[in-house]
Amino acid sequence: MAVAALRWLGDRLELLDQRLLPGETAYVTCRSAQDVARAIRDMVVRGAPAIGCAAAFGVVLDRGGAAAYDLLAASRPTAVNLFWALERMRRAGGTETEARAIFDEDLAANLAMGAHGAALVPQGARILTHCNAGALATAGHGTALGVVRSAKDKGISVIACETRPYLQGARLTAWECAQEGIACTLVTDNMAGHLMSRGEVDLVIVGADRIAANGDAANKIGTYTLAVLARRHGLPFYVAAPLSTYDFVIADGSAIPIEERPAAEVTGYRGERWAPEGVRVRNPAFDVTPAELISALICEKGIVTGPNRERLARLAPPA
């Protein structure tokens, strides 16, 4: 794999330090659940499935000790993959075998999603995406960007939204596309509507951090805006996410906890401040796109067109 966010080495977990990309490729070594929890909190590793995989190995590093679960569960609130992975680990007694299975199954799910999703992508499509839902955000291949990878032979190209304020699009998606030889044009988030109005976008595809039982999908802040714009311009809006991202317990998106991140991410970047001292700031890291704005959900089992509660119920695990 050209891009590997996590490397499990039996007694330690190495995480590609995504804070440093694209300038520097360095790995952070985790030897305890506390190390992994810190790495998730500090954004060394990010992206819903990658967070879940990292947490699973974090449990193994503490030999399945009870404290490990609480530490890891407190690291970030929105991506349900974290809690899904911890629950799986708890049920399996925190074994290395289970953590490896979580990792392997995520990679397999992404490859399956890629195959399903590629069928929705027309020849030569110009695909707009937001944040980073690629190999960096998963065990490999990616979800939204995995569909793009799987459709590469169709001569597609990517339009990567910068993704203010944390710049996952500019720093990570643009970098991943370069690694894979996928044509990519970087734009700031506020350019999306203009490009759509000029007929320069064929479809939108994004990942998700948590999908409620009715199909409402939480993803990186700015996703909802893109879904509204896509509807206005009659463009397909797809959400690609494995079943580990579905939260069938939550009836709709209003119950999804939205992480609020530090004000410093909005008032400046890496030590440089451009906003006046004392200004009030909001920094919600995610928003919720209502199911009615989603053309289709793509998961490892296939495609759910026009997602709603009834259609999603078929995906739910038996009670």
Say if strands 286-289 and 296-299 run parallel, antiparallel, or are unpaired. unpaired
Q: Which stretch binds ligand MRU (CB under 6 A): 111-119, 135-143, 265-273, 309-317?
A: 135-143
Which of 64, 127 has the CB closer to ligand MRU? Answer: 127
Cα 312 from Cα 64, distance rounded (Å): 33
Amino acid making up residue 123: Q
Cα 143 from Cα 112, distance rounded (Å): 10
Which of 96, 164 has the CB closer to ligand MRU? Answer: 164
131 lines the binding site for ligand MRU (CB under 6 A): yes
Q: Out of 202, 209, 216, 287, which one is annotated catalytic?
A: 209
137 lines the binding site for ligand MRU (CB under 6 A): yes
CB neighbours of 121 closer than 8 A, spacing ≥ 6?
127, 147, 148, 151, 154, 156, 203
Binding mask 36-75 for ligand MRU (x = CB under 6 A): ----------xxxx--------------------------
Say if strands 157-161 and 246-247 run parallel, antiparallel, or are unpaired. unpaired
Cβ contact 47:110 at 8 Å: no
150 lines the binding site for ligand MRU (CB under 6 A): no
Cα 298 from Cα 314, distance rounded (Å): 14
Helix (H) or strand (E) holding 53: helix 48-61
When CB distances to ligand MRU are compared, the closest residue is 207
To the query of whether residue 209 is one of the catalytic residues in this protein, the response is yes
Which of 43, 92 has the CB closer to ligand MRU? Answer: 43
Count of positions on this chain that bind ligand MRU (CB under 6 A):
17
Which of 77, 207 has the CB closer to ligand MRU? Answer: 207
Exactly one of 58, 117, 207, 307 binds ligand MRU (CB under 6 A); which one?
207
Cβ contact 283:258 at 8 Å: no
What DSSP letter does each residue of 142-160 carry, written as one string? -SHHHHHHHTGGGT-EEEE
Binding site for ligand MRU (CB under 6 A): 46-49, 79, 131, 133, 137-138, 143, 168, 207-209, 219-220, 285
- Annotated active-site positions, please? 209
